[in-house]
Amino acid sequence: MAEQKATNVTWHDHRVSKEERCQQNGHKGAVLWFTGLSGSGKSTIANTVDHKLFEQGKHTFVLDGDNIRMGLNKNLGFSPEDRTENIRRIGEVSKLYTDAGILVMTAFISPYREDRDQVREILGDGEFIEVFVKASLETCEERDPKGLYKKARAGEIKGFTGIDAPYEEPEKAELILDSDGKGIDDLADEVVAYLESNGYLSI
């Protein structure tokens, strides 16, 4: 995903394996990658899923796009190159959570299909669960919880996904959530049901 610039570095194996960590946690580690337009409900659904799983005693965490851009990725903007690097970094962080046997939910627009597929490639089989939060542009503009669409339409924000920058819908998402027609709690229940039926919530 990126050129290895550091030299004279050696990988150190851990004495505690990923399998042992999952066994102790009582469930598998995986990444639930919520992708969709701004205003589609990614962060709200991810946090609701997180709460439902936490209540079940599962080990979970949410990585939210805006929050990450206030710390780890505060030096990145919204150019295509910076968007790609943003997702690359989050992919690597998500892999660390997965190796620790944690169910991590990421809520990022992540507009480019290639970037999302590259994250899938660095994870093990079944560890990347792409969740497409599907909502029409009209719905997202109507919601506009942060007022960003209004600013983009007025020309105050350039390169805004869905307005003057592209969003590439997933071609092989494990889950598609109908955010136009269903409520947050119902959509979160669909995600939890997927995890249960596919054996992620047990060992």
Cα gap 193→37, rounded to integer Å: 24
* Mean of pLDDT over the chain: 95
Query: Would the pLDDT of 188 be above 80?
Result: yes
Q: Residues forming the annotated binding site for ATP? A: 36-43
Query: Would the pLDDT of 1 be above 70?
Result: no
pLDDT at residue 64, as a whole number: 94
Give tens-digit pLDDT for 147-183. Answer: 999 999 999 999 999 999 999 999 999 999 999 999 9
pLDDT at residue 11, as a whole number: 85
Catalytic option among 79, 110, 179, 202: 110
pLDDT at residue 52, as a whole number: 98
Query: Would the pLDDT of 136 be above 90?
Result: yes
Give tens-digit pLDDT for 52-89. Answer: 999 999 999 999 988 999 999 999 999 999 999 999 99
179 catalytic residue (yes or no): no
Which residues contact residue 138 at a Cβ distance below 8 angstroms, ignoring those fewer than 6 apart? none
Backbone angles phi, psi at 158, to 5 degrees: -105, 150
* Average pLDDT of the residues in 182-200: 98
Q: Contact, 135 vs 176, CB < 8 A?
A: no
DSSP characters over 117-134: HHHHHHSPTT-EEEEEEE
Pick among 3.50.50.60, 2.30.30.240, 3.30.70.260, 3.40.50.300: CATH of 18-198? 3.40.50.300
pLDDT at residue 3, as a whole number: 77
How far does Cα 48 stand from its chain's mean position? Answer: 14
pTM, 2 dp: 0.93
Q: Residues forming the annotated binding site? A: 36-43
Query: Would the pLDDT of 16 be above 90?
Result: yes
Q: How many C-beta atoms lie closer than 10 Å to residue 92's C-beta?
A: 13
**Structural domain spans, the chain:** 18-198
Task: Please report, in angstroms and rounded to a whole number, the separation of the first and last CA atoms in the chain.
Answer: 31
